[in-house]
Amino acid sequence: MAPVRNQTRSSEFLLMGFSESSELQPLIFGLFLSMYLITMFGNLLIILAVSSDPHLHTPMYFFLSNLSFVDICFTSTTIPKMLKNIWAQSKVITYEGCIIQMQFFALFIGLDVFLLTVMAYDRFVAICHPLHYTVIMNPRICGLMVLVSWIISVLNSLLESLMMLRLSFCTVLEIPHFFCELNQMIQLACSDTFLNNLEMYFKAVFLAGGSLICIVYSYSKIVSSIHRISSAQGKYKAFSSCASHLLVVSIFYCTGLGVYLSLAGTHSSHSSATASVMYTVVTPMLNPFIYSLRNKDLKKDLKRALQNSSESSSKKANGCGLKKGT
């Protein structure tokens, strides 16, 4: 006789993480703390550099600073809770905390998708229609694009939360992941999950897939325009302006879409959690390095920002020393 799986509105879940081995927990804690601090520091530097230099007040850097802000929020949705649980030697997350984490995760991953799409369109206009770039990508249109991205992402995250609230969960409440991942939560439910699965794959295909189609179309036009440029220097300059974005898009979409679409045929939760690290942690951490290393103007401003911060800290230290001397 099959065991009975009681349906309940649970008060808490268990985040199992990557490994149950106690010996590996300090290593995992140190690794993710380092990646989180690098992500915060790198993306904050991008925002500081773009906001402080009038030469960087262009559509491309406006979208990049928004992406950096979203990446900070995106990683802050999952990593601090995981670090807190490892430090406290606990795996518990409350039902309310899980729903809130899922809502903000859906919000910021949606914003990531839309901002990457908008940035691809920006490069398309800059390379394929350079004479009309300032007219098409004016500040009002850029602000409107970001606003629409926020509105759609907020509505999407609210829908996902409402869809999860209708589910009842079984007595097995272990989530084999380091955060409340949507697919893993649906698998724990004992009530009918047809609508939840439909909504999840609809988003994967039409939102993420639709955005990817727009990005691929933009870059196909970009490649065609670059191919028509006669000088080798002109080709290199045009390609270098979008190479960073293309690399970020490749990492984000290959890992993100791969995780969700591969779950249709396999239920390997360990591989899913490991792959999720790529687009939830690694990509936001690498973004500042990828964009700054490929861009001379941004690299110059980042060096200036670092110098200014070090000079201000040294002045404060000298000030404190003088006060003590007096």
277-282, long-range: CB < 8 A, 24+ apart: 278/251, 279/251, 279/252, 279/255, 280/74, 280/75, 280/78, 280/179, 281/32, 281/35, 281/36, 281/39, 281/75, 281/79, 282/35, 282/251
Q: Tokens representing 159?
A: 């829908």
pTM given for the model: 0.86
Determine the Cα–Cα distance for residues 309 and 41; give it in Å rounded to an integer: 13
Q: Tokens representing 287?
A: 């973004």
Query: How many CA atoms within 13 Å lie on the side-chain side of 45?
Result: 24
DSSP-derived 3-state class of residue 272 = helix
Domains along the chain? 12-299 (1.20.1070.10)
Determine the Cα–Cα distance for residues 71 and 23; give it in Å rounded to an integer: 30
Name 268's Cβ contacts closer than 8 Å, sequence gap at least 6: none
Determine the Cα–Cα distance for residues 58 and 323; give it in Å rounded to an integer: 44
DSSP 8-state code for residue 51: H
pLDDT string in tens for the chain (326-residue length) = 334 444 545 678 999 888 778 888 999 999 999 999 999 999 999 999 888 888 888 999 999 999 999 999 999 999 999 999 999 999 999 999 999 999 999 999 999 999 999 999 999 999 999 999 999 999 999 999 999 999 999 999 999 999 999 998 877 688 888 999 888 888 888 888 999 989 888 887 888 888 989 999 999 999 999 888 888 887 887 787 788 888 888 888 887 766 666 555 555 566 677 778 888 898 899 888 888 766 666 666 666 666 666 665 555 555 555 555 55
The sheet carrying 174-175 orders its strands as: 92-94, 12-15, 174-175
Query: How many CA atoms within 13 Å lie on the side-chain side of 299?
Result: 8
Cβ count within 10 A of residue 19: 12
279, 289, 71, 268: CA torsion to nearest 10: 10
Cβ count within 10 A of residue 141: 12
Read off the amino acid at residue 202: F
92-94 vs 12-15, strand pairing mode: antiparallel
Cβ-contact 130, 224 below 8 angstroms = no
Cβ count within 10 A of residue 194: 7
Q: Tokens representing 229?
A: 């440029």
b/e map 71-105, b = 16+ CB within 10 Å? bbbbbbbbbebbbebbeeeebebebeebbebbbbb
At residue 108, the pLDDT reads: 96
At residue 252, the pLDDT reads: 84
At residue 54, the pLDDT reads: 85
Cβ-contact 65, 51 below 8 angstroms = yes
Residues found in the chain: 326
| Residue whose C-alpha is closest to residue 293's, from 72, 42, 37 | 42
To which residue do tokens 């990817």 refer?
212
DSSP 8-state code for residue 230: -
Determine the Cα–Cα distance for residues 311 and 41; give it in Å rounded to an integer: 18
State which H helix or E strand residue 204 sits in. none
